[in-house]
């Protein structure tokens, strides 16, 4: 526990609206990923996430977060493995599909099986096959820390970007 929390200190209430917070967060340009897994029954699950980050090189750790209310929460919180697929600049439609509530988002999606069964999406610029190492409930999300067991990338491939609520195939300010 941090010294501030031990001493009983708490954060002040926010002096901004949820809309202002969201707009401010939108100024941070990110890559776009689709996190994939299989349920215990073998069903495919996947969702678009831009809350992806590296944590450690040794051991190799990455993190991402998921809303507690997400329909796929049980699959990811109970599963042992998942894959993080970093999307290419030409995969915006796939990002939008996996961010939507379409009934069968996997229809026609081209993928291969990772070593532990998590789908690896064709055309992704990078993939990280992860062991579900730890989870931290914070606010309205759960932070997942994955220990990377395998990874790969396509040298020279351009990533899909997200900034200010929009997708970009090139940096928006260039």
Q: What is the pLDDT of residues 88-147, one digit of tens each?
A: 999 999 999 999 999 899 999 999 999 999 999 999 999 999 999 999 999 999 999 999
pLDDT of residue 27: 86
Q: What is the pLDDT of residues 50-92, one digit of tens each?
A: 999 999 999 999 999 999 999 999 999 999 999 999 999 999 9
Does residue 53 contact residue 65 with C-beta atoms inside 8 Å? no
Burial string for 163-173 (b: 16+ CB within 10 Å, else e) reads beeebbeeeee
38 is in which domain, residue-wise? 30-154
In percent, how much of the chain has pLDDT > 70?
93
Give the three-state DSSP class for 126: strand
Whether residue 74 lies inside any domain: the answer is yes
| pTM given for the model | 0.90
For 30, 37, 49, the CA distances from 116, given in Å and listed in that order, are: 27, 9, 21
Q: What is the DSSP string of 71-108?
A: TTHHHHHH-SEEEEEEPBTT-HHHHHHHHS--TTTTTT
Whether residue 6 lies inside any domain: the answer is no
Q: Give CA–CA dist 149/90, Å, rounded.
A: 27
Number of folded domains that form the chain: 1
Q: What is the dihedral of CA 96, 90, 23, 83, to 10 degrees?
A: 70
For residue 170, name the pLDDT band (cuts at 50, 70, 90): confident
Residue 171 has pLDDT above 70, yes or no: no
Residue 3 has pLDDT above 90, yes or no: no
Task: Report the CATH number that the domain containing residue 38 is assigned in CATH.
Answer: 2.30.110.10
Residue 23 has pLDDT above 70, yes or no: yes
Q: Give CA–CA dist 169/90, Å, rounded.
A: 7
Give the three-state DSSP class for 15: coil
């Amino acid at each position: 526990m941090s010294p501030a929390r031990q001493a009983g200190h708490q954060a002040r209430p926010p002096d901004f609206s949820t809309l202002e917070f969201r707009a401010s967060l939108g100024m941070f340009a990110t890559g776009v990923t689709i996190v994939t897994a299989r349920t215990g029954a073998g069903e495919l699950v996947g969702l678009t996430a831009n809350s992806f980050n590296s944590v450690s090189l040794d051991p190799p750790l990455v993190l991402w977060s998921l809303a507690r209310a997400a329909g796929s929460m049980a699959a990811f919180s109970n599963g042992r493995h998942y894959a993080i697929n970093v999307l290419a600049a030409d995969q915006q439609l796939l990002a939008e599909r996996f961010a939507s509530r379409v009934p069968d988002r996997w229809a026609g999606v081209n993928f291969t099986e990772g070593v532990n069964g998590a789908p690896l999406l064709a055309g992704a610029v990078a993939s990280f096959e992860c062991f579900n190492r730890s989870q931290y409930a914070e606010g309205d999300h759960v932070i997942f820390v994955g220990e990377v067991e395998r990874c790969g990338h396509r040298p020279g491939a351009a990533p899909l970007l997200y900034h200010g609520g929009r997708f970009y195939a090139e940096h928006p300010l260039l």
